[in-house]
Structure 1
Amino acid sequence: MADINYEITAHLGVLSESPKGWTKELNLVSWNGRDPKYDIRDWAPGKEKMGKGITLTKEEAVELQTLLHSLD
């Protein structure tokens, strides 16, 4: 498996925390030197491990925001 490089360029918030200290977060993350994308995933304390997640372009994040607002 190829190495995956990432840089959290902006921490936007924590959505939840598990009893073991893992946090589900929304961040802007640059993957393998590419432009940052909005990223939702679980992170271990200290960010040394991560779970599976989803990345979104700005346009996709705006569309998700619109969909979430319609849940009222």
Structure 2
Amino acid sequence: MADIKFEIKDKLGVISESSKGWTKELNFISWNGKQAKYDLRDWAPEHEKMGKGITLSAEELNSLKEILNNMDL
């Protein structure tokens, strides 16, 4: 399996934290030297491991924001 390289350009926020210290975070990340995107996923305490997540372009994040703003929470 190929090494995945990432650079967290901006830590935008922590959504939750598990009892084992893993955090669900929204970050702005460059994957494998490509243009940075918004990224939502679980991270180990020192960012040495990560869980599955999703990456979103600015347009996709804006669409998600509109959907969330229209929900009754």
- The answer as to 2:15 corresponding to 1:15 is yes
Q: Which residue type is aligned with residue 34 of structure 1?
A: K
Equivalents in 1 of 2:33, 2:40: separation in Å? Answer: 18
The alignment's TM-score, normalised by the length of structure 1, stands at 0.98
Q: Note the residue ranges of structure 1 that are not aligned, 5 or more in a row.
A: none
Paired residue for 2:41?
41
SS in structure 2 at match of 1:53: strand
Q: Give ranges in structure 2 of 5+ residues lacking alignment.
A: none
Query: Cα RMSD over matched residues?
Result: 0.5
User: How many residue pairs are counted as aligned between the two chains?
Assistant: 72
Runs (4 or more) in structure 1 with deviation over 6 Å come to none
